[in-house]
Amino acid sequence: MRKKASAAVIGLAIAGVSVLATSTASSHGYTDTPISRQKLCANGTVTG
């Protein structure tokens, strides 16, 4: 029983550290290189 409890505590500690150590993702917006469809539209290259 004691081994299970210590394994659970270690598992939670590792999970907590990994959550705190990760950075946030920045996926919104559009890319400038290579030129995306959004950028072509913003430049006025695409019509219609």
pLDDT digits (tens, 9 = 90+) for 1-42: 888 999 999 999 988 888 777 777 666 666 667 777 777 888
User: DSSP H helical segments within the chain, as ranges?
Assistant: 2-21, 37-43
Q: What confidence score (pLDDT) does residue 17 get? A: 81
Q: Which pLDDT belongs to residue 30?
A: 61
Provide the pLDDT for residue 46.
78
Predicted TM-score (pTM) of the model is 0.42
Phi (first) and psi of residue 12, to 5 degrees: -65, -35
Amino acid at 44: G
Q: Which long-range contacts (CB under 8 A, 24 or more apart) does 16-23 make?
A: none
